[in-house]
Structure 1
Amino acid sequence: MTELLVAGNVFRGLRLATLAITAGTLYGLALPLLLANPDVYRSLPRQWLAFAVLTVVVAVVGVQILRDRPLGRPRWVLVAAVFAASALATTAIPAEELMSEAEWSYGVIGWFGLLLLVDHSALATAVFLGVHTVGSFGQLVATGQGGQAADLVVVTAVVLGCELPVLAAAMALRSLTARTAAAAERVARMRTADAIAEQLHADRRARYGDLATSTVPLLTDLKTGAADLSDDRVRTTYAVAAARLRRLFAEHDEVVDPLLHELRACLDLAERNGVTVYLGSCGEHPTPPLTARRALTEPVLRALAAAGTRARVTVLGSSDGVTVSVVADAREVPGPEPEPTGGDGVTVTRLVDGKEVWVEATWQART
């Protein structure tokens, strides 16, 4: 970003320098010639009108450059105004005086082309200079002054010798800016990729940390035969761990509603074990953060892991939160308080009626 800022400042400096040269040429060279030769012109008012048009162009462009703003669509209106001013100046002077000092506009118009177009396109600037030069030669031939073409060649070489280096500098700066932007984009992509890789690595470490403290001990007991799978409580513990694994995998999927997606992952295992599960959703809701979604789904997966034959899960959404409730029959009479107490803005309510268990988890978005 620093390189782009420096390149932008250099290009703005070039525009300011072009503005200074154009204004200096108009008022330091052209104006004295106009004032010194009033008797030469066929129409002095047309000469002053041409000068006034160029003055307005300098003022308009100068304001935009000082504000560091592009010219936009008015650029082409100003280009047409410059060509009109050139036509006024060269047609209001006798043809035999076109190569005299009284013709003040020829050395000025090219700088106006640079002023108006150098920040837009090098090709457009070159076309402007070419059209102006060819038009000047054509005017000499059309007015019967072809013998003065050699003088115009000399003047053109001097004028373009000053103007073309500015165009070349603009082209070099534009190329430098493009290369700098491409390099900055590559660096930004690399930094983004590194940040994503670091985040993924941190997520994996956190995921493995969860597994190390919850699932790995269960697998160890299962491998060593320490787990008594005939005990409903033990089977429920393993079912809860399996549901958490499914939820963990679902947490990293790109979906429209992550909460519903993770709930479906929790339901799948219960359905595979023969439990009839109904999942219903009503209302739109904001997406809770990951920790809140875990707190919302934890009571559900615990109830489903202990369900006997049926369960009903309902998601009720509102503009400022979401409620997840589950009603299920238990394989055995539930204990007094096996459910989590929530957290991360989630409150959990649990009621038991015989073997019927009702659990409700509510999350409110923080304003």
Structure 2
Amino acid sequence: MTALATVAPSDREAGAAGPPLIVAAKLLRWLRFASLLIAMGTLYGLALPLLMANTAVYTSLPRQVWAFCLLTAVALVAGCLIAVDRLAGWARWVLLAAVAAASGLATTGIRADHLTAEAEWSYGVIGWFAMVLLLDRGRAAAAFLVAHTVVSFAQAALLGQDVVGMVVVAAIVLGCQSPVLAGALALRRIADDVAAARRAREEVRTAEAVAERLHESRLARYADLAGTTVPLLERLTDGSADLSDARVRADYTAEAAKLRRLFAENDDVPDPLLHELEACVDLAQRRGIAVYLGTCGEWVTPPLAVRRALIEPVVWAASAATAARVTVIGSAEGVTVSVVADAPADLAPQAEAPVAVTRMVDGTRVWVEAAWRR
């Protein structure tokens, strides 16, 4: 979201931010047009007659003409850029430099004794052009107006001219320009407040959406555990579980591995599949099982449901009696997880689309492969 405090947003950017910012952007745009009309009216309605009536007092009439033409060109270019909402970036500063150059040409092409008289036509014009270019940057516009006024007074004082008359002119000119600048600043503050309120509202909505997703995720996990883990825990608590039975211990080990996998799903890691596999392997190693985990190739991260199906062979291998070998082979086309372990064959996972599961039994050792293709 782009606030008007930085730059004036285009209509498309404001549209993404909401109706209040659309209104603010349009108001600022029309305020710029109004400032441009005032600048053109001042240039041609006031400055041009003064320029034509005082040609004799100019030390360089061509400088005056060049300054006038330069301001006209700035007005035309600025008007075109405002029309397409592109008055920003380097174009703004190039035009501002041209305005400053026009001011320099006008004030250095006149006799010193007329610098504070009406023959110096540019003083009341330059500020309006700066307003057009810097209206969305209130501090920069105010700084330019102050700097232009200070430079004008300093130039007159250095040339030995009485600056008392300029005080009245400066008060009139700044008195007309300041309300426009104050209006732009107020408009920007309103837009900033609207943008901040909208950001706060979006943050609340995001927090609510995250909380809802977390709640749904917890419900889904409970549903996954309700059919298998919960009955085992109930038998464990009421003492009906025969832990001396190897098959019963294998059931509990597989469910423990599934829990570890579920916990690992919440971790923010570069490779979720490998991280969840390692969580299951760690449980087997804690039981004293010799487990080898090898990987080959690189793979894209499969969806959560696919990862769960791919990890099922490793969950089953956690209940191995003595040893297990886990191999992960990946490519851009898919991932294959294969496990060789001396675990109960009837506990080996079944195929779940889109994961294909292959099983082979060789005595006490069982080979299970889960393959997924994109």
Same fold flag (TM > 0.5) = yes
Residue 362 (str. 1) matches residue 371 (str. 2): yes
| Deviating more after overlay: 19-28 vs 239-248 | 19-28
Residue 323 (str. 1) matches residue 336 (str. 2): yes
Change (3 A) 1:352 1:112: same
**Per-residue deviation, 1:141:** 3.6
Residue 133 (str. 1) matches residue 143 (str. 2): no
Residue 351 (str. 1) matches residue 367 (str. 2): no
8 A contact 1:113–1:125 mirrored in 2 = yes
**Per-residue deviation, 1:282:** 1.4
Equivalent residue number for residue 294 of structure 2: 280
1:143-174, CA deviations, whole angstroms, 9 ceiling, x for partnerless residues? 4441xx34322222211111011121222223
Equivalent residue number for residue 29 of structure 1: 46
**Per-residue deviation, 1:287:** 0.6
**Per-residue deviation, 1:81:** 2.6
1:300-330, CA deviations, whole angstroms, 9 ceiling, x for partnerless residues? 212332x221110001111221110001123
Change (3 A) 1:163 1:238: same
Equivalent residue number for residue 269 of structure 1: 283
Change (3 A) 1:46 1:273: closer
Equivalent residue number for residue 122 of structure 2: 105
Taking structure 1 as the reference length, the TM-score comes to: 0.88
**Per-residue deviation, 1:72:** 2.1
Matches for 1:207-286 after TM superposition, within 5 Å: 207-286=221-300
Matches for 1:53-202 after TM superposition, within 5 Å: 53-120=70-137, 122-146=138-162, 149-202=163-216
What do you get for the CA RMSD once the two structures are aligned?
A: 2.3
State the secondary structure of the residue aligned to 2:120: coil
Equivalent residue number for residue 311 of structure 1: 324
| Deviating more after overlay: 128-137 vs 209-218 | 128-137
**Per-residue deviation, 1:66:** 2.1
Taking structure 2 as the reference length, the TM-score comes to: 0.87
8 A contact 1:296–1:342 mirrored in 2 = no
State the secondary structure of the residue aligned to 1:119: coil
- Structure 1 runs not aligned, ≥5 long: none
| Deviating more after overlay: 15-24 vs 317-326 | 15-24
- C-alpha separation in 2, matches of 1:322 and 1:261: 15
**Per-residue deviation, 1:293:** 0.6
8 A contact 2:116–2:156 mirrored in 1 = no
**Per-residue deviation, 1:351:** 0.9
> Sequence identity, in percent?
59
| Deviating more after overlay: 19-28 vs 283-292 | 19-28
Equivalent residue number for residue 47 of structure 1: 64
- C-alpha separation in 2, matches of 1:177 and 1:359: 62
State the secondary structure of the residue aligned to 2:88: coil
1:113-167, CA deviations, whole angstroms, 9 ceiling, x for partnerless residues? 21222323x3332232223223333344444441xx3432222221111101112
**Per-residue deviation, 1:349:** 0.9
State the secondary structure of the residue aligned to 2:335: strand
- C-alpha separation in 2, matches of 1:44 and 1:323: 85
- C-alpha separation in 2, matches of 1:310 and 1:132: 85
8 A contact 1:283–1:316 mirrored in 2 = yes
| Deviating more after overlay: 237-246 vs 180-189 | 180-189
Equivalent residue number for residue 293 of structure 1: 307
- Structure 2 runs not aligned, ≥5 long: 1-16
State the secondary structure of the residue aligned to 1:71: coil
Partner letter of residue 310 of structure 1? A
| Deviating more after overlay: 163-172 vs 65-74 | 65-74
Partner letter of residue 349 of structure 2? E
- C-alpha separation in 2, matches of 1:277 and 1:135: 82
Equivalent residue number for residue 6 of structure 2: none
1:92-127, CA deviations, whole angstroms, 9 ceiling, x for partnerless residues? 33444445544321210111221222323x333223
Partner letter of residue 84 of structure 1? A
- C-alpha separation in 1, matches of 2:190 and 2:151: 33
8 A contact 2:78–2:87 mirrored in 1 = no
Partner letter of residue 356 of structure 2? T
